[in-house]
């Protein structure tokens, strides 16, 4: 049995008939209109041409179109268009052969075809997207299956005028069966600025509007086998229900955490940077959202059965399988063991972050080591701090006898084979560790260090193991960070440290390490210490590359007001999600969704804040490329950031000149002054390797 990405209107795809759809917006219904097929121009089975001059029917479009390069809105088919102003001719391109406009123009519209020459690619890109005197007007026709809407789109960085868009859409309407229902879809904030100048008879659909029609989101493509189970997130969080690595789970909500499973389907839509998806990418677990999944008849028919589960970038499959098939697949697809840095217990100094590098993971863990690398990047504001080496965690284990207890648990068959018993045993171990004896001499040394660097400041004690923030294994959210402040009886320093130490044995951390073949006794806990951020104006996460379409470099950013978590949000709370084309002229911004915490139309970050963030992301991306970038492989850094109110020193320059002196050359006079504003702080950077650890062919 095969389940499609979205229940397609077969009439629209296979037959010559009308179609209609609408978008629910509060009490208002937006009708995207009806269309009727005409006479097809292509013959089924014939070799496809490089272009056509007309779309006569839906079969013509389907034959010439393909899935768009940008997969941020799933369930779409797209084909490029070229309007050649030299002879006022419209071309609908064969999208499989010509996914890029330039190559079509060079092949068919150049001097060898009796037309003016087409310049080299670099010149073409600068003139045909930005010049008001360009020859080619470039765009795309995209059909979005969810809301059933036809759109004309230009590139997010294209500086076309409203007149150019209107004229092109007029030509398309004359040569395509869907012409009367064609909408303009602005692909960035910059492109949206021309909407006000479009003629009133050109309908516009926003990205938010298109998302309202999306019922399926492929968060992490991949394939797996397992037993299909329907579970409530509340029961998982309360411990009423357990999951195993052989379960494909259908969940009513998006959980913040989940142990290793074979696959995930959430009824509630996720974001690509949601914590559960970071986990899925880390594990290579197929993960998707499907509105109505809990009540889906086809899925319910397979409940409790062994299934083959596959998530593709644009659709998914769930079909019955046998246990033998599942066992065979698991034997062939055991995840390769993760090799972590061997612990270096010889290092005993409390080391300032400016002295830490990526090469110090063995002694100070991944988080602290990457933090030290961040700290030295010019133009990136990172809080000062220091790190407590893993040496002291191992000493803490021995002094309290926890090493003996841990060895006994790992040797126990009951502990290894019974997940319920394992949860209880690990919880008891953590409780004992939190109350464990902490060396007063070490505590005094730490307090002295804090007194020197952070007198009277509330601090954050952050986990930093040698089994996180690694290339191919992020370990996101496995461990716990705590706040503490000297002299504060409610948040003593020693207690904060022992709680971080205890989190090495969080159940999910244990299950994750076991699944990836990591030796538990080869993992140790260092601690990163820096100031806390109790009054943050906004926070977020970002990737330094375009996860949807790496051919169009952009930063993918999620941002939220205040301290509401982006990766672990309360139920129903969503952040701003947008692509920031930092490297393109005018730096276009494409919003995929807006925060549910702010008024409609507003954004979490100001334009100034977005630009400041973009500058930092660019610097971070370039700095870490020497460690993690590999030719031909997706490379991005996963960044956590905050905007926190504070004072900064800025320059103010004013041109001064005597009004009576006509020969005066106005030169700026600059002075420094303090400004109270929201300051960008970057608190974490780790490598991110794209959609999945097991990419599809």
The pLDDT of residue 381:
94
Question: What CATH class has 216-332?
Answer: alpha beta
- Is 60 exceeded by the pLDDT of residue 517? yes
- Is 90 exceeded by the pLDDT of residue 90? yes
pLDDT in tens, 236-259: 877 788 888 889 999 998 887 788
pLDDT in tens, 527-569: 999 988 888 899 999 999 987 777 778 999 999 999 888 877 7
Query: Does the domain at residues 351-531 carry the CATH identifier 1.10.510.10?
Result: no
Higher pLDDT, 597 or 658: 597
DSSP letter, residue 176: B
> Which CATH number is associated with domain 538-688?
3.30.470
Tokens, residue 495: 């207690």
Higher pLDDT, 66 or 640: 640
CA distances to 29, 289, 380, 466 from 25, rounded to whole Å, are 6, 21, 41, 48
- Is 50 exceeded by the pLDDT of residue 4? no
Q: How far is CA 293 from the centre of its chain?
A: 23
- Band of the pLDDT at 485, cuts 50, 70, 90? confident
Angle between helices 121-130 and 101-108 (to 10 degrees): 110
Strand, coil or helix: what is 40?
coil
pTM over 0.75, yes/no: no
Domain range annotation of the chain: 10-210, 216-332, 351-531, 538-688
pLDDT in tens, 275-307: 788 778 878 899 999 989 999 999 999 999 999
- Band of the pLDDT at 663, cuts 50, 70, 90? low
The pLDDT of residue 269:
80
Tell me what the mean pLDDT of segment 34-43 comes to.
Answer: 86
Strand, coil or helix: what is 610?
helix
The pLDDT of residue 72:
56
Contacts of 653 (CB under 8 A, 6+ apart): 668, 669, 670
- Band of the pLDDT at 28, cuts 50, 70, 90? very low
Query: What would the DSSP string read from start to end of 617-680?
Result: HHHHHHHHHHHH--TTS--EEEEEEEEEEEEEEEEEEEEE--TT-TT---EEEEEEEEEEEEEE
Tell me what the mean pLDDT of segment 616-632 comes to.
Answer: 92
Closest C-alpha to 329, from 347, 308, 350, 346: 308
The pLDDT of residue 68:
56
CA distances to 146, 234, 265, 274, 432 from 238, rounded to whole Å, are 35, 6, 20, 21, 21
The pLDDT of residue 493:
92
Q: What is the mean pLDDT of the chain?
A: 86
DSSP letter, residue 143: E
The pLDDT of residue 361:
94
Tell me what the mean pLDDT of segment 322-327 comes to.
Answer: 93
DSSP letter, residue 153: E
- Is 50 exceeded by the pLDDT of residue 607? yes
Tell me what the mean pLDDT of segment 627-649 comes to.
Answer: 87
Identical fold between 216-332 and 538-688: no
* Least reliable range by pLDDT among 216-220, 393-397, 564-568: 564-568
- Is 80 exceeded by the pLDDT of residue 480? yes
- Band of the pLDDT at 694, cuts 50, 70, 90? very low
């Amino acid at each position: 049995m095969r389940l499609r990405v979205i229940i397609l209107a077969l009439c629209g795809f296979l037959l010559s008939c009308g179609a209609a759809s609408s978008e629910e917006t509060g009490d208002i219904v937006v009708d995207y209109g009806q269309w009727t097929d005409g006479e097809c121009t292509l013959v089924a089975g014939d070799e496809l041409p490089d272009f056509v001059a007309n779309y006569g029917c839906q079969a013509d479009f389907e034959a010439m179109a393909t899935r768009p390069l940008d997969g941020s809105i799933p369930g779409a088919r797209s084909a490029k268009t070229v309007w050649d102003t030299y002879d006022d001719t419209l071309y609908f391109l064969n999208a499989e052969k010509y996914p890029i406009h330039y190559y079509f123009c060079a092949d068919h519209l150049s001097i060898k075809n009796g037309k003016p020459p087409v310049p080299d690619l670099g010149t073409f890109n600068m003139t045909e997207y930005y010049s008001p005197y360009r020859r080619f007007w470039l765009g795309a026709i995209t059909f979005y299956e969810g809301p059933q809407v036809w759109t004309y789109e230009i590139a997010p960085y294209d500086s076309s005028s409203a007149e150019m868009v209107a004229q092109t859409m007029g030509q398309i309407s004359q040569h395509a069966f869907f012409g009367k229902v064609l909408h303009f879809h602005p692909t960035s904030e910059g492109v949206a600025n021309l909407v006000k100048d479009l003629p009133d008879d050109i309908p516009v659909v926003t990205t938010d509007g298109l998302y309202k029609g999306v019922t399926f989101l492929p968060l992490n493509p991949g394939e797996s086998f397992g037993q299909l189970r329907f579970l409530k997130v509340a029961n998982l969080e309360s411990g009423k229900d357990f999951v195993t690595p052989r379960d494909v789970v259908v969940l009513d909500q998006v959980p913040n955490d989940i142990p290793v499973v074979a696959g995930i389907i959430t009824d509630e839509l996720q974001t690509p940077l949601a914590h559960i998806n970071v986990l899925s990418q880390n594990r290579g677990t197929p993960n998707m959202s499907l509105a109505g999944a809990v009540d889906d008849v086809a899925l319910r028919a397979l409940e409790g059965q062994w299934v083959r589960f596959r998530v593709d970038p644009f659709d998914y499959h769930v079909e019955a399988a046998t246990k033998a098939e599942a066992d065979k697949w698991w034997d062939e697809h055991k995840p390769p063991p993760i090799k972590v840095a061997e612990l270096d217990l010889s290092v005993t100094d409390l080391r300032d972050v400016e002295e830490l590098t990526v090469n110090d993971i063995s002694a100070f863990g991944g988080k602290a080591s990457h933090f030290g690398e961040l700290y030295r990047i010019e133009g990136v504001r990172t809080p000062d701090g220091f790190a407590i080496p893993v040496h002291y965690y191992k000493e803490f284990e021995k002094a309290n006898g926890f090493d003996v207890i841990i060895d006994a648990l790992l040797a126990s068959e009951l502990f290894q084979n019974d997940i319920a018993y394992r949860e209880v045993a690990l919880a008891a171990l953590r409780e004992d560790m939190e109350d464990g004896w902490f060396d007063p001499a070490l505590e005094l040394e730490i307090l002295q260090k804090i007194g020197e660097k952070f007198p009277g400041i509330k601090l954050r004690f952050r986990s930093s193991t040698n089994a996180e923030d690694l290339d191919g294994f992020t370990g996101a959210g496995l461990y716990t960070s705590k706040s503490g402040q000297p002299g504060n009886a409610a948040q003593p320093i020693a207690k904060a440290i022992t709680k971080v130490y205890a989190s090495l044995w969080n159940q999910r951390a244990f299950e994750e390490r076991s699944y990836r073949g990591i030796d538990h006794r080869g993992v140790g806990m260092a601690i990163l210490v820096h100031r806390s951020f109790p009054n943050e104006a906004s926070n977020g996460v970002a990737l330094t590359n375009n996860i949807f379409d790496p051919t169009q470099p952009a930063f993918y950013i999620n941002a939220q007001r205040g301290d509401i978590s982006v990766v672990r949000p309360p139920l129903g709370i969503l952040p701003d999600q947008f692509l920031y084309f930092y490297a393109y002229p005018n730096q276009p911004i494409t919003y995929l969704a807006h925060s549910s915490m702010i008024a409609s139309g507003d954004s979490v970050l100001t334009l100034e804040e977005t630009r400041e963030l973009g500058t930092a992301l660019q610097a971070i991306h370039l700095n870490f490329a020497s460690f993690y970038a590999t030719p031909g492989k997706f490379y991005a850094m996963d960044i956590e950031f905050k905007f926190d109110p504070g004072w900064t020193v800025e320059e103010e320059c004013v041109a001064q000149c005597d009004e009576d002196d006509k020969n005066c050359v106005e030169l700026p006079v600059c002075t420094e002054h303090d400004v109270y504003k929201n300051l960008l702080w970057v608190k974490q950077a780790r490598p991110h390797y794209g959609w999945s650890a097991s990419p599809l062919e």
